[in-house]
Amino acid sequence: MKPALIVIDMLEEFVHGRLKSPDAEKIVPNIRKLIDTARNNNIPVIYVADRHFPVDHELKLWGEHALIGSDESKIIRELEPTSKDYVLYKRSYSGFRDTGLDMLLRDLGIDTVFLTGIHTHICVLHTAWDAFYYGYNIYVVKDAVAAFSREDHEYALKYMEKNYGAKIVDTSEAIKLLGSKA
């Protein structure tokens, strides 16, 4: 296994703003532990972050959010990337769509992705869908992802496990797996 840690949409908008998950702040310490583990084991940390133009299609559904240049589009301070991390910007739900993520993962020789972030039932789910179709092994860290509701969260985890073959693990399991790859 050659893994990468993917941090999805841990932005001011989704952690503290209008479209925040009620559990967003609870997952921050777990994501922090995973980032530290990945960095300590030379595993790539890749952030995919919403960054919208005012004309983007999904704004018709969700309203203006994470607009380019806004404070809401910034990655939260607690999980701020370093110069060794990768930051890709997206204008749709999936971290793969028009971001260069697949090319980056292939350039790095990655075959396995560990998914973390917001929202389990939207951007995490759609990123997992594309990861599945691009042929990656998928781990979703269940206590490092969050949704608008517990029901949305549980539904998405089951869906990814059943339909994409995602392995659903907790932070401690993910840390062991990432630590054993050094």
Q: What is the mean pLDDT of the chain?
A: 95
How far, in Å, are 24, 74, 121, 138 from residue 51 at the CA level?
A: 19, 9, 19, 24
Tokens (6 digits) for 149: 């509701």
**Average pLDDT for residues 153-171, to the nearest whole number?**
98
- Kindly tell me if the per-residue pLDDT of 181 is higher than 90: no
**Average pLDDT for residues 17-28, to the nearest whole number?**
94
Residue 16's pLDDT is: 94
Contacts of 80 (CB under 8 A, 6+ apart): none
Q: How many CA atoms lie within 13 A of 63 on its CB side?
A: 4
**Average pLDDT for residues 114-132, to the nearest whole number?**
97
CATH of domain 3-179: 3.40.50.850
Pairing between β-strand 86-90 and β-strand 45-50 as defined by DSSP bridges: parallel
How does pLDDT run across 70-100, given as a tens digit for each residue? 999 999 999 999 999 999 999 999 999 999 9
Residue 179's pLDDT is: 87
Residue 14's pLDDT is: 94
CB 152 within 8 A of CB 124: no
If pLDDT is split at 50, 70 and 90, which confidence band does 63 have? confident
Give me the amino acid identity at 60: K
Tokens (6 digits) for 108: 């790095």
- Kindly tell me if the per-residue pLDDT of 182 is higher than 70: no
Whole-angstrom distance, CA of residue 83 vs CA of residue 24 = 25
